[in-house]
Amino acid sequence: MMTSYPAPINPIRTRIGWIGTGVMGGAMASRLLSAGYSVTIYARNPSKIVHLQSQGALLADSPVDICKNDVIFTMLGHPSDVRQIVLENLIPFLNQNTVIIDHTSSHPVLAKQIFDAARERDCWAVDAPVSGGDIGAKEGKLAILAGGNEDVVKWLNPLFDVLGKGTFMGGPGKGQSCKIANQIVVGANMLGLSEGLVFAERAGLDKKKFVEAVKGGAAGSMVMELFGERMIERDFRPGGFTEYMVKDLGMGLDVGAEEGDDVVVLPGAALNKQMFSAMVGNGDGKLGTQGLITVIERINGK
């Protein structure tokens, strides 16, 4: 397949369908609208996308209506949502040559099933979860981790470039595997930052000075850049829900068993899943993952 499949992407010609307009999905759809693309959106609650309609978005009455477009994006919550909407309510009605991109953090096995189902209809599916949070979505700086057919991913680059930077990770499911690995690293960094800030406060340090002093050294990370000040200012508005981090880490811990392979032993990821699960248990599952610091504070009697 050539990268011109089936015709080069063009804002005037390429019709975009979108399902999933939460914190991340809404910001991503907004960027495509700003870039001049025609975007049709299906939303269970249309009142929540008035701001996107003001940018020119069209409203679909059902997921089936989305299938009329050339490229369809989904950004959903859980693998069960992906199975229901993508596998059961989109793919059976796709037109030939449609490409469907699932940005949801989902399961590699499900991504492979979707890819195979799409090919049966002479279509393509790309699993392309993202990293970068709400700020990355708004600024078009997301890391897009794409699995599927390499030529199709190359063909999609004009769209990915509006949202951030796309990287082809391998065959179907590899994007999802990369996102799980990403979350294992992010979760570990988030826990370390939370504990470091709690320790710094107990030691009588100015927390802002602490972050400023160490961020240029080995302790520095993108997690610190994105979430250090938010933690200090008690800003727990979600870029991604904590309950989704629990989901992602859980997939990392059981993905081998799901595929019939040996489970990878990940003691750090298991501990982090417990910590984020404690946050959910405290009623904070809809807060941002930076709220993990509240769990460490509670353990320390604050």
Q: What residues are annotated to the active site? A: 179
Contacts 24+ apart (CB under 8 A), 141-147: 141/165, 142/28, 143/167, 143/182, 144/103, 145/169, 145/175, 145/178, 145/179, 145/182, 146/175, 147/108, 147/111, 147/171, 147/172, 147/173, 147/174, 147/175, 147/176, 147/177, 147/178
- ∠ CA 214-216-219 to the nearest 5 degrees? 50
3-state secondary structure of 99: strand
- What pairing do the DSSP bridges indicate for beta strands 15-19 and 142-147? unpaired
- Report whether 295 contacts 251 (CB < 8 A): no
DSSP-derived secondary structure letter, 241? B
- What pairing do the DSSP bridges indicate for beta strands 130-131 and 38-42? unpaired
DSSP-derived secondary structure letter, 92? G
- Report whether 83 contacts 108 (CB < 8 A): no
Name every residue whose Cβ is closer than 8 Å to that of residue 152 and which is 6 or more positions away in sequence.
1, 5, 99, 124, 126
Query: What are φ and ψ of residue 287, in 5° steps?
Result: -85, 165
Query: What are φ and ψ of residue 131, in 5° steps?
Result: -135, 145
- Report whether 82 contacts 104 (CB < 8 A): yes
Torsion angle defined by CA atoms of residues 2, 6, 7 and 11, in that order, rounded to the nearest 10 degrees: -120
